[in-house]
Each structure stands twice: as C-alpha cells, then as structure tokens.
Amino acid sequence: MPNIVSTQRTGNWKLAALALFLSGALAIPAPDASSTDAAASSTATTEPFPYEVSTLTDADVEEYPEISFDDIIYTEHTSSKRSVSDLVCKVISADSKWPSSKLWGIVNFLTGKKLIPTVPLAAPCYNGEYYNATRCAEITASWHDSDLHDQDPTSIMSPFYQGATCMPTTDPTGSCTLGGYPNYVIKAKTVFDIQVAVNFARNFGVRLVVKNTGHDFSGKSSGANSISVWTHFFNDIKNIPKFNRLGWSGPAFKVGAGVQGRDVYAAAKAQGLVVVGGEGMTVGYAGGYLAGGGHSPLSSIYGMGADHVLEYEVVTGDGRFVTANAERNSDLFWALRGGGGSTFGIVTSVIVKAYPDLPVTTATFSFSSTDLEAYWDAVKVYFNTFITNADAGTYAYFSIFTGTFNMAPFFAPNLSAADVTALLQPLFDKLDSLNIEYTPVITEHESFFDAWQATFPKELVGYTTVQTASRLFPRANWVDEATFDKTFAVIRSVVEEQGMLLGFNMKNEFPGGGEPDNSVNPAWRQSVLHAIGAASWDASATPEEIQAKRDYLTNVQMQKWRDVTPGSGAYLGESDIQEPNFQQAFYGENYARLYQLKQRFDPKSVFYASTAVGSEDWTLDLEGRLCPN
Ligand SMILES: Cc1cc2nc3c(=O)[nH]c(=O)nc-3n(C[C@H](O)[C@H](O)[C@H](O)COP(=O)(O)OP(=O)(O)OC[C@H]3O[C@@H](n4cnc5c(N)ncnc54)[C@H](O)[C@@H]3O)c2cc1C
C-alpha cells in the first residue's frame, strides 16, 4: 500500500528526511505499506477499501502541526458555535499569507509526492516549456470527449466557468494562464492524502476544491487560488452479496469515489444485478452524482440514485474520517444524499443497494419537419403522454431543436416492445396523420447494462459558447387541458427562441412511499419533466454580449418556466450557476436544515462551491479572493 505515514515509524527519521527532502538533497521513498495504522481507520469504516485503511493519525499530526486536525468543530451531537462573522478571507497566491513553497513541500512529502502543480490541459498548444505540437493536436482532436477531461487532474467539462484561459489553439503565441484552475492538486490515492489536503487547506486558509470527473455543469469542481483534491483514483468496486444491516437485507455494492457510472453498471451486470445510476457514461457515481440526488434511467421505478445509499465514508472539514449511515452520523448521512457535492465533506466510498438485473426495451427515433406548426403539434402530442409514460416506469431522454426531434432513447425497464409501441402510439399516430416520417428502432434487451450501453450517447463536452439552465416541471402541470396547454406553450416559446431543449421525462417518487429520509430536492418527487434550456453565443462575442445572453436566459426565459411551475425547483447537478434564489430552487424546503448542518459539519467553510449550501456567505472579490460577506 503506497503513501502511508505510520505511527510506528514516526520519529526523528521523518523530520530528518523532511529536512533533506525540502533541501532537495535526497529523494525520499514512500514509507512502507506494512506500517499502516489500522486501529485509526477501524473506527471509521466497517468494510474499508485498502485505500481507506491508510489514514492520518493523531501521532502523525503531532509531528506536523501544519496538518493538525480541527477537533473543535466536529462532534456528532453538538451544533456549531461559530457565526459567519468568525470567518476570514481565504488567501490567494498573491498574498503574503499564501503558504510558502516549503509548506507545500511538506504536503508533497507527506503524501508521497502526490502534490501536482497545475499545468492546464491545453498548455502543450502554447509556446513555452510545455509546448508539444503532437500532444496539442491530440488534445484538440479529443477536446469534446469527456474522457480527455476526466483523466486530467484539473480540466473540467465546462471550461467557460474556468474562464477558458487555456483552450486548444493553432496559434501558439496566445496566452495560457491558470484562470479558474486550482494552483495545486492532490492526486489522492489514500484517505490519508485527502486528510492532509483538508487539514492543510483549513489551517492555512487556502480554498479547497474537489474534482472527481469534472462533469459539473457550473464548473464547481474547479476554483482559482486553491488546492484541489482529485478523487479519480478511488476506483474499487466490491460486491456484497448479502448486506445485512441498516435495514437492508439484500445485495449491495461498495463503490469508490472515483468510479464512473459505466464501471459500476458493468460490475453489477456481472453479478446479475443493477444499481440506480445516471445515464451519463463517464459521470462519476459516488461524487457529484449521488450528492445531487441523481436521476436515472431507472428513476421511474426506483426513484433517485441517492435513495439507495446505505452508507458513506467521508472526510469532514475537521479532517476526520467518519462513517455516515442511518445509525452513525445520521444527520450527515441525510445531508450527503441530495445536499450537493463539495459541501459537507469528501466522500471516499459509498455502499448502495442493488437489485436483480431486469430486461429493458429501448426505442430510438427522430423526426423533422419544415412545417413548424405541424412539428410542434406532434411534439405536443408526445408531451401529453408524460404522465402515462412515467407511471409506466419509463425514462425518456430527448432533444428538441427547431424542426427536429430526437429520442435518444426511450428507456422502458420491464416492458416489452409491444408495451413500448403502445406507449408511443399516440405520437406515431399523430406523425402518420401529419405525413411526418419517423423510423423507430425498438429493441428488447435482456439486461439493463446492454440497453444502457446500446442507446445512451456519450455526450460532447468542453464548449465555451453555451450556458444551460433547467427546470423541474411537476405532474400538476398536466392536471387538466388548460394547464397543460399553458405549460406547453411556455416551453415551446423558449425553445423557439433558443432553438434547443434537452428533456427527461420520468418520475422520481421516493421508493416505498412515505416521507423521504434524505435531502434530495423535494421538487424532484413531484416532477415528470426535467427540462434543460440553453443560451449560446458566437465565439467572437464580447464579454458584455455573452453576459447579456446569459442574463436573458436566466432572468427572462427561465422566469417564464418558473412562473408556470410555482414552488417547483431545478436540478442542482444540471443547472444554471446564475439561478436566482438557488436555495429554494436547488434544495427547496430542505435548505434551512442543510444550512444548519453546514454550520455544524463545516463551520470553517473548508468546502465551498458556487450555489452550494452556505455559499451565499461568501463573495469573490475582484482579485479572486473568497471572503465572507
Ligand atoms: C454528459 C453529462 C451527463 C450527465 N448525466 C447525468 C445523469 O444521467 N443523471 C444525473 O443525475 N446527472 C447527470 N449529469 C450531471 C452530473 O451528475 C453532475 O454534474 C454531477 O455533479 C457530476 O459529478 P462528478 O463527481 O462526476 O463530477 P465533478 O464535476 O467532479 O463533481 C461535481 C461536484 O461534486 C463535488 N464532488 C466530486 N467528488 C466528490 C467527492 N468524492 N466528495 C464530495 N464532493 C465531491 C465536486 O466538488 C463538484 O462540486 C450529467 C452531466 C454531464 C456533463
């Protein structure tokens, strides 16, 4: 096991070695795996992955006060004593209080050289020490492929929010700067590494960000003047055939924080099982996806991804490694399931329920028409089937452009091709009557994974000329013809202006009924449509023109959607960073409790992300310094 700092081997050798390391005189080998302090971790988790056994101990921090814990903050049964006014600005790299290179060297040493200074992904396209024309060509060719970004320490899928300060180019004389990228990254391979980063960031007032895959729509897995924790290498998956505690007697999977959706699905299929995860192929599972609630191709039969979590392992803002489940740290457990990523701690693994694999029928088709009235008539007939389709257990992922509709796919667990054809028949009949062509491909698959892999697209990422915003449309909007007509007209008017909508028709009722025991946005429970709109602009647009487009999307077009869905909300995982009253929109009536728990579990605001719980207490000044309001 790499990079474990042991209590048994602590002593003068470390200090002496550190002095030599910092002076550059000696390369220090990583301490030996046999020195793991298992006692410290055994209280934190019942079934640790190997990387969860390597934890930071009190003995370690005695020697390195730079990474000492902050035990004043976290206790299970007491609430916080701090008020917002106790907080101070985070430091920026231009400040005299920014940690010296000697201090960064301590972090690098203790983590076995896992501290990486940020080099923007597209730096090889620019003159200077990283210039490499071949590598630049490779990066340029795959810039819109999510795998390129999830394998890079700091790159994110929405570079617009990073400032797009180092994009691929054929002009190597341009400028490539850090912009909104972190200064350093911990390429975490053990819980110990994460604890060192959390304690260091907190003790020195450095902003901390967390990146898993970098899929966040609003760039929340990046941030300037920060140290980032990269969880991508926590990749273990363990099948637990009979998980017999916490009220669940059935199969489960323990999944590392870096595991992506496709890998957990493949592991489940191998056992004849499924887990409730997203449609996105490369999206992380245990990180931002479950933290935001997580909609799924199985949502209409099983609810949200977060509804199936049994247990988390997590490093909290005080640097401690704790277990959160319905019996231990139950408030933290509640908050982690819906309250958003990078808010309450850094998750290292999760245990989720699994279910028997199931057959799925998929349908994919598209239709186009230059007769836009006829086209919208057909789309409206489809929208009118949303309640029936969601109640039948289906999940539909579709896009609407001016005059073109694409279903990719209509996903129907436990239904046959005949069932699917019957559900889609109203639309097909309408298309027939309008003489609009469509050629549905309807396929019965034996297993969830096969259906998922065969039909969901690997979405393109990396654009800087688009911003999205979304809204959850409740079932009540379909309650009678007049309400539905009004709802559809409003949706249509926005799409006609912007030329694009991504839609998800599903329901997300809490499994088994009753009151949800987690912090998923309550708006999800009523919703049958998650609609994503977008503003776009030319690459040559000025900052003022871009802002005007963004404001129009947020404040004019999305306001129409808000007005027709009063009291509903929006999905924080696929949202608008400018969402007004984000507290209500993303968290609903859970916000007050989430905010209170934020004070309790992270009173020093070690974790910050825009629109995350408690983020309203902070403002970025013009120099990029995060300061309390
Ligand atoms: C192409 C695409 C497809 C998508 N498909 C779906 C879908 O089918 N269903 C759905 O519900 N959503 C979907 N999403 C939205 C996605 O679930 C969210 O953006 C989610 O937050 C991504 O999580 P991540 O960990 O992969 O990404 P990241 O961007 O790395 O992280 C997202 C947020 O979580 C935080 N975070 C990451 N890891 C941890 C951790 N270990 N502990 C604590 N905080 C952490 C980050 O700091 C950040 O704030 C999709 C997004 C994209 C771009």
Mean pLDDT per 10-residue run, the chain (629 residues)?
26 34 34 31 60 93 89 44 66 94 96 97 97 97 94 94 94 95 98 98 96 92 97 96 94 97 96 96 93 98 98 96 96 98 97 98 98 98 98 98 96 98 98 97 98 92 92 98 98 93 97 93 98 94 96 97 98 96 98 96 94 96 91
310 burial via Cβ count (<10 Å: 0-12, 13-18, 19+): buried
pLDDT of residue 4: 23
pLDDT of residue 343: 98
pLDDT of residue 70: 81
Q: What is the DSSP letter of 589?
A: G
Give one DSSP letter per residue of 51-69, joined into a string.
HHH----HHHHHH-GGG--
CA distance 582 to 304: 20
Among protein residues, the one with the nearest Cα to ligand 1's atom 15 is 573
Q: Does domain 360-589 have CATH number 3.65.10.10?
A: no
What atom of ligand 1 comes closest to residue 284's alpha carbon? 26
The Å distance, Cα 564 to ligand 1 centre, comes to 28
Question: For residue 13, how many other CB atoms are within 10 A of its CB?
Answer: 11
The Å distance, Cα 215 to ligand 1 centre, comes to 5
Among protein residues, the one with the nearest Cα to ligand 1's atom 28 is 214
Please state whether the peptide bond connecting residue 409 to the residue before it is cis, i.e. omega within 30 degrees of 0: yes
pLDDT of residue 9: 25
Tokens of 452: 């998922």
Residue 42 sits at φ, ψ, to 5 deg, of -65, -25
pLDDT of residue 283: 92
CA distance 200 to 184: 12
What atom of ligand 1 comes closest to residue 346's alpha carbon? 42
Q: Which amino acid is at 309?
A: V
Ordered by start, the domain boundaries in the chain are: 237-357, 360-589
β-pairing, 273-274 with 355-356?
antiparallel
The Å distance, Cα 31 to ligand 1 centre, comes to 33
CA distance 297 to 411: 7
The Å distance, Cα 207 to ligand 1 centre, comes to 20
Name the one residue in this structure whose structure tokens are 């396929």. 443
Among protein residues, the one with the nearest Cα to ligand 1's atom 37 is 287
Orientation of helix 101-110 relative to helix 12-22, angle to 10°:
130
CA distance 119 to 387: 49
Please state whether the peptide bond connecting residue 153 to the residue before it is cis, i.e. omega within 30 degrees of 0: no
Enumerate residues lining ligand 1, CB below 6 A. Answer: 157, 209-217, 220-221, 231, 257, 278-280, 283-284, 287-289, 291-292, 294-295, 341-342, 346-347, 459, 461, 573-574, 609
Which residue from 146, 215, 586, 608 has its CB within 8 A of the most atoms of ligand 1, so it is best to mutate? Answer: 215
The Å distance, Cα 245 to ligand 1 centre, comes to 28
Chain CA centroid to CA 88, Å = 27
Task: Look at residues 219, 235, 150 and name the one whose alpha carbon lies nearest to residue 181.
Answer: 219
Instruction: Give the residue ranges of DSSP H helices in 73-145.
Output: 101-110, 133-141
pLDDT of residue 8: 27
Q: How many Å from the N-terminal Cα to the C-terminal Cα in the chain?
A: 44
pLDDT of residue 71: 57
Q: Which one of 3.30.465.10, 3.40.50.12780, 3.90.1150.10, 3.30.420.40 gives the CATH number of domain 237-357?
A: 3.30.465.10
- Report the SS3 class of residue 444: strand
pLDDT of residue 217: 86
Orientation of helix 101-110 relative to helix 191-204, angle to 10°:
160
